[in-house]
Amino acid sequence: MTEQSATLKIGDKSVDLAVKSGTIGPDVIDIGALYKNTASFTYDPGFTSTASCESKITYIDGDEGVLLHRGYPIEQLAEHGDFLEVCYLLLYGELPTAAQKKDFDYRVTHHTMVHEQMSRFFTGFRRDAHPMAVMCGCVGALSAFYHDSTDITDPHQRMVASLRMIAKMPTIAAMAYKYHIGQPFVYPKNDLDYASNFLRMCFAVPCEEYVVNPVLARAMDRIFILHADHEQNASTSTVRLAGSSGANPFACIAAGIACLWGPAHGGANEAALNMLQEIGSVDRIPEYVARAKDKNDPFRLMGFGHRVYKNYDPRAKIMQKTTHEVLGELGIKDDPLLEVAMELERIALTDEYFIEKKLYPNIDFYSGITLKALGFPTTMFTVLFALARTVGWIAQWNEMIEDPQQRIGRPRQLYIGEPKRDYVPVSKR
Ligand code: CMC
């Protein structure tokens, strides 16, 4: 893999560093022995130039707007695949055969129920608790319910834990929603596909028959596909770091959910819709665009910009199409939020500030409008992201555990505090 080397000079010391190439994408300079040879660390706040691991799962070319899972473009997966097929691909590395797909769907479907005692766990939360707070707690609590799949050294237990989380996340997410709105929990139904089952658990009530709309179920499934994995983002790196200590998989995924909640990450879909609602009408857009450009104003256009994409987020394009399909199916014409979104996008894409900084709409810009049309309140948006991203976190966690180079993640620092000083008794301070 090593083709060339880089030479680094620090004072009178010179050190040769191996340069490694992947199959596609930028090379990396292997600095693993840097501290041993030079007594220096590298400094990269926000990890903008740091590759933390080798991975075969997802590839992003941010300049070209490309996203591949195991080599397959996201556009093809979203157009032709379904979410469980993508889950299989992320977990096992290849698309399933028809028999493998049938077996995988069966195994996931037959893990969807949660331990009945979990339902009592929910009642410990305040009724007005944010569903993401409930998700952090309940997913973390799974390790207390499923002791038989927490031995991470056993590949079988790891796969059981993986399937359990992919299967139970929709059930837990729907329970968080039902608890939030004061309706009874709806049990999963095994003859429905993953997305239809989730919609039913969210929107059915015991007193009425619920018929799944296939167009909306397909849109839900596509939203799950678009969020399934995104290489070493903040929450995935959190899962890997938590897992590097040997923590159990349920605890690691709970850590990922906690990280995802932030508005700069998964919380942006909720924040984007709130922003569109706040803007309210097309005539107010210039005011908000001016605020986004003002260095002294902390306001940012939510749903715009990305650490890696310096081009149109390929997921945003598919999401925009899905938004139109859902609104069309539901007969929602002249949706004011969509009108604001489309005009905001048009202005931002032609504005010098956004062009120069390469700020394009990201996936969160359109997902909020679609989720709202599907019937979800904004507080559920990040929960849906967590549900879909669970498979990515799990695939990355499994890959890390199987990596022979894996060690506990332990970054170092540039210390800028006080140098050593002597303790002063309180009477003399
Ligand atoms: N609106 C206005 N200005 C922006 C925005 C924005 N949304 N995003 C970045 N900028 C400016 C920023 O002020 C900075 O300007 P300058 O160079 O003059 O200081 C420049 O663009 C670079 O921004 P940055 O914060 O250094 O970039 P980053 O890579 O650290 O941040 C980001 C990436 C996604 C956190 C950021 O673009 C942002 O806060 N966007 C809004 C939140 C959002 O939509 N997040 C969802 C990301 S996609 C889903 C996910 O990954 O979870």
Mean residue pLDDT across the chain: 93
Q: What is the model's pLDDT at position 276?
A: 93
Kindly tell me the sign of the dihedral angle through the C-alpha atoms of 311, 314, 315, 316.
Answer: positive
At residue 107, does pLDDT exceed 60? yes
Query: For 221-257, what is each residue's pLDDT tens digit?
Result: 999 999 999 999 999 999 999 999 999 999 999 999 9
For ligand 1, atom 10, the nearest C-alpha belongs to 305
For ligand 1, atom 40, the nearest C-alpha belongs to 305
**Residue tagged active-site, from 229, 230, 306, 313:** 306
Query: For 1-45, what is each residue's pLDDT tens digit?
Result: 446 899 999 888 889 999 999 999 999 999 998 999 899 999 999
At residue 338, does pLDDT exceed 90? no
Q: What is the model's pLDDT at position 333?
A: 81
**Residue tagged active-site, from 265, 364, 403, 422:** 364
Q: What is the model's pLDDT at position 332?
A: 86
What distance in angstroms lies between residue 301's CA and the mean position of ligand 1's atoms? 8
Contacts of 382 (CB under 8 A, 6+ apart): 132, 260, 261, 266, 267, 269, 270
The pair phi, psi for residue 139, each rounded to 5°, is: -70, -40
Domains 5-51 and 73-402 share a fold: no
Note the pTM of the prediction, 2 decimals. 0.92
Asked if residue 359 has its Cβ within 6 Å of ligand 1, the reply is: yes
| Domain residue limits, the chain | 5-51, 73-402
Nearest ligand 1 atom to the CA of 357 is 21
Nearest ligand 1 atom to the CA of 303 is 44
Asked if residue 307 has its Cβ within 6 Å of ligand 1, the reply is: yes
Token readout for 407 is: 């060690």
CATH topology of domain 5-51: Rubrerythrin, domain 2 (2.20.28)
Please compute the mean of the pLDDT values over residues 397-409 and round it to a whole number: 95
Lowest mean pLDDT among 97-111, 242-256, 292-306, 380-394: 292-306
Query: For 261-281, what is each residue's pLDDT tens digit?
Result: 998 888 888 889 999 999 999
CATH classification number, 73-402, choose in 3.40.50.800, 1.10.1200.10, 1.10.287.620, 1.10.580.10: 1.10.580.10
Q: What is the model's pLDDT at position 255?
A: 97
Please compute the mean of the pLDDT values over residues 286-297 and round it to a whole number: 94
Q: What is the model's pLDDT at position 3?
A: 65
